[in-house]
Amino acid sequence: MGYQIQTVQGDITKVDDLEAIVNAANNSLLGGGGVDGAIHRAAGCELLAECRTLHGCKTGEAKLTKAYLLSCKYVIHTVGPIWHGGDALEEQLLENAYRNSLKVAVEHGIRTIAFPSISTGVYRYPVEQAALVAARTVQKFCEEHMDKIDIVRFVLFDPRTLAAYAHAVCEIKT
């Protein structure tokens, strides 16, 4: 296995040893609450200016910007689904958000990337289900693109989310 999938508790805006972080953005890409707001605040106003030129992002898609005042080089913005009970293609859209973020990374030669828990904040996707989708999608992508990704790190804000992702990563390895 030529890649690592890691889980840590922390602040994704403080990642300084990976090339890119993923922003769990809204469709406008113009900032919001949670991870999105924290990334925009930490990156500075230049990030917002560049995001304005991208004209938004559809759910499940991903777009790349510079990282500006952040310690990494790039921010990959993706929009996860809003949870509506599980019958509105939420799982497919969440898979797309992770897969398309990794696809953007590979297209730009980015080999190390950090993800937050996409859609589990104000979008209310159940954390345990989201963690399994994330871990499974990342593993499958890395297997299909061997030697293109070195590290995928889930940087998670609280102990409950960390536990869910650590469990999901353990599950996919067995």
| Separation of alpha carbons 32 and 36, rounded Å | 5
* Active-site annotation holder among 36, 147, 150, 158: 36
With the C-alpha atoms ordered 52, 55, 59, 64, is the resulting torsion angle positive or negative?
negative
C-alpha–C-alpha distance, residues 33 and 25, integer Å? 9
Concerning whether 11 is annotated as a catalytic residue, the answer is no
DSSP string for the chain: ---EEEEEES-GGG--SSSEEEEEE-TT-S--SHHHHHHHHHH-HHHHHHHHTTT---TT-EEEEE-TTSSSSEEEEEEPPPPSSS-SSHHHHHHHHHHHHHHHHHHTT--EEEE--TTSSTT---HHHHHHHHHHHHHHHHHHTTTT--EEEEEESSHHHHHHHHHHHHHHH-
Q: Which residues are catalytic?
A: 36
